[in-house]
A and B are shown apart, each in its own frame.
Chain A
């Protein structure tokens, strides 16, 4: 498996929507390289015929009756919004 380079850290940070300086990228690359190296241990195991586990319990789809129920109150929902106007959330310009 490949190791994480500084360029990859910058790419991954962008995908994860994290602003990152060159200096930080270098620091994280060192740490993440050590971490991904440690993860290589798993390659010792032959898992060719092993099924993956996504969940430990027997999971079944949880369905409910197709009935409308009241959602959260608009006033309450806006309580934690930093900027809003006329019941709408304000964000910076999307289109230049």
Chain B
């Protein structure tokens, strides 16, 4: 009996009917991880001993006390701190770091009864679009092992696509949940900024970072967002707003829904296959009662430059805390304290992290602050206003998640600007702070393509409703990648 390819509801049903137990389900997750990891390389630390013990205890909890995610396995991106489970953000500078507390989202997973299976590989400090910037390993795309899974939450997306775990958490600063979700053919949601607590998320760019769920189906995604959302007094940017039942928003009805389709998201550089897949998807939604109209988000082309200036500036400040003194990697070559700092950081950080720290330090330095940092903050206002204006007339905005499907490992790693261009369609969303999901909507040469649905502030419900209608009407989410063949079930 196979546990992969099952939804949360199906897994709960199997537990209720005694077809399986939480202990068995946990064991099977580790079996499949053991079988597939040599190919996929999605996991860093595994939580086997504690998860096994926890699962056995959970089987004794009365059914009446269990929620919809109780006992189900989950992987957590490695920039989210987990007490007693090594957390590195895929950086050498945090090698061996054992957090002494849990991130708020990890506490919430525990309250929901989820079993943490392990930590997911990522681009170092969430900087990257391919997972090639991890110090530890390169995660492969389960659909084609020669291609990247996307990034920075590449391990989180690949593990769900490969059926290693049905749920993972990622984080999204400029597309880091949605782009890998698109590349790996799974569902990834970046919630509204402030919806999910960032306490315990290792900061990259604090005004943009947001944690979100990656799953195989829209319904499961909504269930997981229910579990991790909510105000947290440990995060001063956490929004004190009501959390609706996202799963209850999946009514199947989008009659009269107004969809804005930005012409800038179909501009030069966006592949024909991605354009065609989105146009086909819009037809599906129109057939179900939605109204599509072309719109303009005129400042879209400035988003990339704005993002790299702001995110790098925030990163240069956030990453100054890594000095080798209180935790993490320490150099062995230092005569005095200044050398100690400089050598620790040079040996501990990878090239992309150094590039962004330097770019940010430059943009914030006197003489350049007005020209770069302040200028970018002003353009951010214009980008946000594009969305505010569009959402006065439209309920959601829809376009491709990425210009192309996954690219080959090693293909563009030495060309930062081409790598950054992967995120041109996801970055504006982070700058504005609105929620957006990526769901599977087609294939190009056997590689998945993603449909991006962007919503109003704190209106994840409408985003989920539209995503669910599309998923119910299509079969893309039921396709499985090549790594499934012959793998442990």
Could you tell me the distance between the alpha carbons of A65 and B349 in the complex, rounded to whole angstroms? 39
Q: How many residues of B contact A (CB 8 A)?
A: 69
B336 interface contact, C-beta 8 A: yes
Chain B CB count within 10 A is highest, among A12, A13, A41, A89, for: A12
- Is B362 within 8 A of A8, CB to CB? yes
- Is A16 within 8 A of B336, CB to CB? no
- Is B355 within 8 A of A32, CB to CB? yes
B302 interface contact, C-beta 8 A: yes
Main secondary structure of the interface of A (DSSP, over half): loop
Could you tell me the distance between the alpha carbons of A60 and B26 in the complex, rounded to whole angstroms? 44
Residues of B within 8 A of A39 (CB): 305, 308-309, 372, 376
Residues of B within 8 A of A47 (CB): 375, 378-379, 382
The listed residue (A8, A28, A96) touching B354 by CB distance below 8 A is: A28
Q: Which residue of B lies closest to A50 (CB)?
A: B378
Could you tell me the distance between the alpha carbons of A14 and B341 in the complex, rounded to whole angstroms? 11
Stretch at the interface among B54-62, B69-77, B157-165, B325-333: B325-333
- Is A16 within 8 A of B382, CB to CB? no
| Complex A-B: 19 CB contacts under 8 Å | A8-B362, A18-B345, A18-B358, A31-B416, A32-B358, A39-B305, A42-B306, A47-B375, A50-B381, A57-B237, A72-B100, A80-B326, A82-B324, A91-B340, A92-B336, A92-B337, A93-B335, A93-B337, A94-B337
Would you give the shortest CB distance from A94 to chain B, in whole angstroms?
5
- Is B237 within 8 A of A17, CB to CB? no
The listed residue (B302, B316, B339, B340) touching A41 by CB distance below 8 A is: B302
Knowing A1-B371, A34-B417 are in contact, say whether A52-B378 is a contact too (CB < 8 A). Answer: yes
Could you tell me the distance between the alpha carbons of A43 and B288 in the complex, rounded to whole angstroms? 44
New contact pairs (14) apart from A12-B358, A42-B305, A42-B376, CB-CB < 8 Å: A2-B368, A15-B365, A20-B346, A35-B308, A35-B416, A41-B305, A45-B379, A47-B379, A50-B382, A59-B237, A80-B100, A80-B326, A92-B336, A92-B337
Residues of B within 8 A of A17 (CB): 320, 323, 338, 341-342, 345
- Is B100 within 8 A of A42, CB to CB? no
The listed residue (B97, B304, B341, B457) touching A80 by CB distance below 8 A is: B97
Residues of A within 8 A of B237 (CB): 55, 57, 59
The listed residue (B207, B301, B336) touching A54 by CB distance below 8 A is: B207
- Is A52 within 8 A of B305, CB to CB? no
The listed residue (B193, B341, B355) touching A57 by CB distance below 8 A is: B193
Could you tell me the distance between the alpha carbons of A67 and B401 in the complex, rounded to whole angstroms? 47
Residues of A within 8 A of B320 (CB): 16-17
Residues of A within 8 A of B343 (CB): 19
Could you tell me the distance between the alpha carbons of A17 and B98 in the complex, rounded to whole angstroms? 25
